[in-house]
Amino acid sequence: MLKLILLVISCNIYVGLLAAKDNYINCTFDKRALELSLDISQKFRSSINELCANQTKLDDKEKLKKINLIRNNAVTSQERFVLKLITDTGIFRSEKDFFMKGIDDIKKYLIADMYFFGININKNIEKAKMLYKGVHNDLKPLAFERLAIIYLGGIGVTRQPELSKKYLRESVKYTGSHASLYRLSLDFAENKNFENAILILTELSNVNYFPAIHELGVAYYLGNGVLKNEEKAISFFKKSAENNNVASQKYLAKVYFFKKKVDLAKHWMKRAADNGDLNAMFAYGDMLLRGKVSSGSHYDEAQKYLNKAFSLGYAPAAFNLALYNRLLYIKYKKCLYYKKALSNLNQLQKINFRIKKIDEEYLKLQQVDDKKCSEII
């Protein structure tokens, strides 16, 4: 008899515990849950909102009745997802089992991000890791990217660069992940974490992502996170520049200019200028005018690029033209150059581009004028 009484009591306690679990409502997460499941029915959405709005007024029996009614109306996986989210103690008490039953990848990824960043939920890297590993299809590269970040930065785990490389290699197979990984590498570099930056850039360079190849060139040229190696840097710059990366074309021009290989410097700066870079237009025009002043074809080409740069809003280009036109006027005594120099300075005055050197140029122009040109103009 005693055993029977104990058995009945035990059963009642067990049923009570189950009821307590079923009566648990976590409406703190209701809004987020509904945002994650936009395709649930209006009827289901309304019943969830009503339950959360009135939960303090309901006793356990009424609450259980409403939960069971909602459960019976939860037809789609998205609706079951919302119900699971608000009625499970601790949000997901058996995530692995639950997510193996077909909750779609978007939900997995979003919930993983909630755990990763601590959005409306306690941050939990272990749970985030598990969910990211379960993501497939289009979101797989993004999940791999998150896993790479976790192991690369040692976020909630022991730092494991080799494991991070594994996930990076998987992620870079998908072109959609390249830009975000590249930005991540720049963030690491900005924070002087060159080791992580180089690791990511190397993986991106292996799939010919040219901005990353350029950054590797910069790293080897400056010795950021690697030993300085100018030859290797130039090799990276060339590979990227030949595929029309403007940053590499300009950097390569600068490297060759300092190595006094002027023709190569001009070649790459012109390539960058022809790709529409204003700084390159100005620099290429300046290169052509640098040194011996000539009124020949070099001057004409320089004027073309500097005028284009100025027309696109690069004001210093007009100042350089004024300076060189004045020098040409001094050399050839042709009023044409005087007129051009004056025109360039007036252009700068019109756009209120004010620097002390403009006034100095006006003065120098007046000093060299033999009055003939100013009278003609």
Task: Let me know: does 296 contact 269? Beta carbons within 8 Å.
Answer: no
Region 356-362 average pLDDT: 64
Given pLDDT bands bounded at 50, 70 and 90, which one contains residue 33? very low
Q: What is the pLDDT of residue 325?
A: 81
How many angstroms from the chain centroid is the CA of residue 199? Answer: 17
pLDDT tens-digit profile of 213-250?
999 999 999 999 899 999 999 999 999 999 999 999 99
More confident residue, 278 or 319: 278
Task: Residue 294: name the closest of 327, 336, 338 by CA.
Answer: 327
Please state the rounded mean pLDDT for residues 89-100: 39
Domain topology for 247-308: 1.25.40
Residues 148, 171: Cα–Cα separation, whole Å: 9
**Exposure of 266 in the CB half-sphere (CA atoms within 13 A):** 14
Where in the chain are the domains? Answer: 19-91, 247-308, 315-377
SS3 332: helix
Give the other-Cβ count within 10 Å of 272's Cβ: 25
Question: At residue 375, does pLDDT exceed 70?
Answer: no
According to the model, what pLDDT value does residue 234 have?
A: 95
Q: pLDDT value at position 331?
A: 78
Residue 18 has pLDDT above 60, yes or no: no
Is pLDDT larger for residue 172 or for residue 88? 172
Three-class DSSP category at 271: helix
Q: How far apart are CA 108 and CA 102, in angstroms?
A: 10
